C-alpha cells in the first residue's frame, strides 16, 4: 500500500491499517495513525529566524543576543556567526557547532546571514 508509512521501529514498508492503528506485518509493531500524521507535520514544519526568513540546513546565521549557556559559565556573544546549521525538531530548532562546542539554539535568537 503506497499510502501507508514505513514502520518507525524496523523501517520496513510492509505496513497496513487496522482500525485507528497502523501495524507492521514484519515486526508486529502497532502505532496510532494520529501520531504518524503529527510526526509528518513536525518534519515538514517551516523554521523562521527572528526576521521571518525561512531557514534551511546548511545556512549561516548570526546571534542577535548574548546567550548564557545553561549549566556553564560560557556566554555566546551577540554577532557571532554560525555556519552550516542543521534543523531538528523540538523547541530548540537549530543544531550547530561553534568554537565553544555543540549547541541547540532557538531560531528566535538567530538572524540569517
CATH class for domain 1-44?
Answer: mainly beta
Beta bridge partners, 16, equal: 23
Tell me the three cell numbers of residue 45. 514544519
User: Do 61-112 and 1-44 fall under one CATH topology?
Assistant: no
Distance CA 4, CA 31 (A): 12
Q: Quick count: other Cβ atoms within 10 Å of Cβ 103?
A: 16
- Is this prediction's pTM over 0.85? no
Dihedral in degrees, nearest 10, Cα atoms 24, 26, 28, 30: -20
Which of 101, 69, 106, 68 has its CA nearest to residue 87?
106
Tens place of pLDDT per residue across the chain (113 aa) = 457 788 877 777 888 888 888 888 888 888 887 765 555 555 567 899 999 999 999 999 999 999 999 999 999 999 999 999 999 988 889 999 999 899 999 999 999 99
In the chain, what are the domain boundaries? 1-44, 61-112
Domain 61-112 -> CATH class:
mainly beta
Amino acid at each position: 500500500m503506497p499510502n501507508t508509512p514505513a514502520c518507525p521501529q524496523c523501517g520496513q514498508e510492509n505496513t497496513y491499517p487496522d482500525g485507528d492503528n497502523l501495524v507492521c506485518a514484519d515486526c508486529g509493531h502497532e502505532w496510532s495513525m494520529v501520531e504518524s500524521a503529527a510526526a509528518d507535520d513536525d518534519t515538514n514544519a517551516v523554521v523562521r529566524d527572528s526576521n521571518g526568513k525561512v531557514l534551511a540546513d546548511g545556512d549561516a546565521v548570526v546571534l542577535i543576543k548574548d546567550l548564557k549557556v545553561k549549566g556553564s559559565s560560557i556566554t555566546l556573544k551577540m554577532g557571532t556567526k554560525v555556519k552550516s546549521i542543521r534543523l531538528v525538531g523540538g523547541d530548540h530548532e537549530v543544531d550547530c557547532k561553534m568554537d565553544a562546542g555543540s549547541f541547540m539554539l532557538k531560531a528566535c535568537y538567530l538572524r540569517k546571514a
